Structure formats: structure tokens, C-alpha cells
Structure 1
Amino acid sequence: MKKFILAITSLLFLLVGSVTYAGESTTPPQPKPITEAEVHEAQKIWGDGIVAIGNAFTNEEDYKALAATHVDTLYAYDEGVVLFKPTKAATQQFRLSEPEAISYFVTGKVPEDRGFALQPWSAVRFENAGILIDTDSAVAMGNYFFTDTNTGKEAKVEFTFGYVRGADGKLLINVHHSAFPYHPLTDDG
């Protein structure tokens, strides 16, 4: 009889231990899926930031601090690896650290950098060829256009941006690849 009572008691402990209470879940919470609207908003914030850095440079304000905040809040360097291949990078093609990314936008750490955001640009607009959304990441690819403040001309650049959701719920860039469009040489002869 003691064995029977012990078996029943053990079974009760197992059952009570597995009971969930209202509002309690036994499965870990699923990440909130990324939406296209969030990708569009992240792109707008990124473009506005590039314009703001150039404006701060022109107005002799602290553009380097603004660039550091731009990279720190929009890129996932604090979360892990970020794959960043800037448009105007040749000698050091990839910027895998936060200081290298900041250097690309405003000069500093990497000798070839001329400060892409210091052009300055008056506008940045994205035209997505497509956006792929997974449960916890997204990838957007297309062209973005940078309007030169001084001439009003647009520079067309191809891009691929990868996004993940940060701890605060906002999208962070973990892949950034930019390149000028390919222009084949013509053969006249």
C-alpha cells in the first residue's frame, strides 16, 4: 500500500507541476514578426539620419556624435555580427566594427574614408525591388537615391539591407551592402 500511495503522490506532483495558470505559458514567447511597414519606417529613419549628419556637418555642429548615435541605434553591432559593405569602399571593403562604420559616414578610423554622409545629401529615398520577411528577420533589396544638396542631382545606389529585431523591439540592420550600378564598357571598334 505504501508503494501505491507513493506512486499516486508522485503522479500528483507531476500533474500539479505541469498545470498552467491563467496568463501563464509553458512555451517561450515567440518573437513579434517583422512587418513591411516596419522595414519602410526603418529605411526612412536611416535616410533621415544620413541627411541630418550632413546638415550637422554643414552647420558646424557635432556631426561625429550624430553619426555615432546613428550607427549605434540603427545597426546591430551590439547584438552580434554586422556585415557592412559600403558603396565607396575599395581598400578596406568591409566594415565589421562599429567604429569602422562610423568612419565610413564621417571619416576617422579607416584612411580611405571621405565621409559619405558629409556630401551633404538633402534627401534619401528607397525603392524596394522586394522585401523578404521571416519570423525574426527581414531582407530588403532595391535602389536608393541620394539627392546632392548642392546640385539637386540624384545618385542611384543599389542596396541590400538585412534587419533583425533588437531587444527594445526596434529593427536593427545586420546586413548592409551598397554598390553603384554596373555600367558595361561599350566596344566601339
Structure 2
Amino acid sequence: MKLKHLVLAAAAPLALAACGTPSDAEGTTDVATAEAGAPITAEEVAAAQTAWGEGIVAIGKVFTEEGDVKAAAEKHIADFYAYEGGDTVLFKPTLAAEDQFRGDADEALSYFIGTEGTEDKGFAIKPWTAVRWENEGTVTDGDSAMAMGNYYFTDTDGNDTKVEYTFGYVRAEDGSLKINLHHSSVPFSS
């Protein structure tokens, strides 16, 4: 089943059940999640996507306000990625050519906030003002799920950057969804 033009208004309340949502300029706040072991639903995936996007926007806001951007990004990674759970995380960020794959939280942090002397300029500190998702499809399989489509990052001038993605999710012991696969790339251009 194709899911085009995700209706965020319907998904936003579910974000509270799936993942943390931004509560202030310091990043995301953990909230109630589904029971550990419960099957993952497509609605939870949509909610997790919304919350992840809001977290990226929050990191940029912290950066703009000259707050503790490292702490905000570390919290985002802990809230949304399965690095701490001991799961393998397959992370291939969009703007990475030299260090293509980010197998641990420190490498993900470098991508999101930048590291001097590397290709990492800080994707999340651009800053972005919104992230919009268009799922081509979502596959759920008990305690795991995958979603693929396009997401759009809106900059401070109101321009959208279209990025293709595939995200995989697992349910953590606390019942929240964690990303164990994140692949994104800019669309092919001939």
C-alpha cells in the first residue's frame, strides 16, 4: 500500500507514544512508549519519523541560540538510534563520501554537529526549520519495521531540500522505537 503525503496532524499525537518529542531548545523529552514486545505499527513509525524531524529542527535551534548543541545532539542520538541498545546501527548519511558509514554514536554525532578537519559540517546545525516526510511504503514485521520514501528539509529561507531515505526500526526494551537502519541520499540527477 502506498502512503503518500503523510498527514502530520494525525501522526503528531502518536509521536508521543513512539519516541521523544522536542519540549524546548535543549532537545527532546522522553515520554510514554508502547509496551516492550508489542508489534510495531505503521502509525508508530510515522510518529517516530515526525519526532525525529522535530529533533533535527531542535538541534538547529539550540545551535542558533548558542546553546549546548553537543548535548542536544547526543540526546537526539540516544533517543532515536539503537547504538546504546547494543544493536548494530547501519547509518549512511546523505552528505558523507569519505566516512560513508557511521557505526557508532560518536560518528553520528560528528555528522549531525560537525567536526573540524573532516567532511562533517554539521547537518543538523544548518539549521532546518521543518522536516516533512512522504513515505513510499512502510513494512512492519512484529518487532521491526522499515520505511522508505522522501523527506524534505526546509531551510531558513523556506527552500526545501529533497532527500531519499530508508529507515529501519526496532523496539527497545523500554518500548520506544529506535533506528537501526538509516540510509539517505540525494536523488539521482543526470
The alignment's TM-score, normalised by the length of structure 2, stands at 0.79
Q: Is contact 1:82–1:175 with CA below 8 Å preserved after alignment?
A: yes
**Cα offset for 1:37?**
1.1
> Is 1:179 the equivalent of 2:171?
no
Q: Identify the residue that residue 125 of structure 2 maps to in structure 1.
A: 118
CA RMSD of aligned residues (A): 1.3
The 4+ residue runs of structure 1 with deviation greater than 6 A are none
Larger Rg: 1
1:13-24 → structure 2 map (5 Å cutoff): none
Letter of the structure 2 residue corresponding to residue 172 of structure 1: K
**Cα offset for 1:31?**
2.4
* Mapped partners of 1:119, 1:105: distance in 2: 9
How many residues are aligned here?
154
> Is 1:98 the equivalent of 2:105?
yes
Deviation track 1:93-117 (CA, whole Å, cap 9, x = no partner) reads 0000100001100013881100001
* Mapped partners of 2:143, 2:117: distance in 1: 32
Q: Is contact 2:37–2:175 with CA below 8 Å preserved after alignment?
A: no
Q: Identify the residue that residue 159 of structure 2 maps to in structure 1.
A: 153
* Mapped partners of 2:106, 2:161: distance in 1: 25
Q: Identify the residue that residue 81 of structure 2 maps to in structure 1.
A: 75
1:22-171 → structure 2 map (5 Å cutoff): 31-79=37-85, 80-108=87-115, 111-149=118-156, 151-171=157-177
* Mapped partners of 1:98, 1:109: distance in 2: 17
* Mapped partners of 2:175, 2:115: distance in 1: 31
SS at match of 1:113: coil
* Mapped partners of 1:61, 1:135: distance in 2: 39
Letter of the structure 2 residue corresponding to residue 105 of structure 1: F
Q: Name stretches of at least 5 consecutive residues in structure 1 with no aligned partner.
A: 1-29, 185-189
Letter of the structure 2 residue corresponding to residue 103 of structure 1: S
* Mapped partners of 1:39, 1:63: distance in 2: 26
**Cα offset for 1:64?**
1.0
The structure showing larger relative contact order (alpha-carbon pairs under 8 Å, at least 6 residues apart) is 2
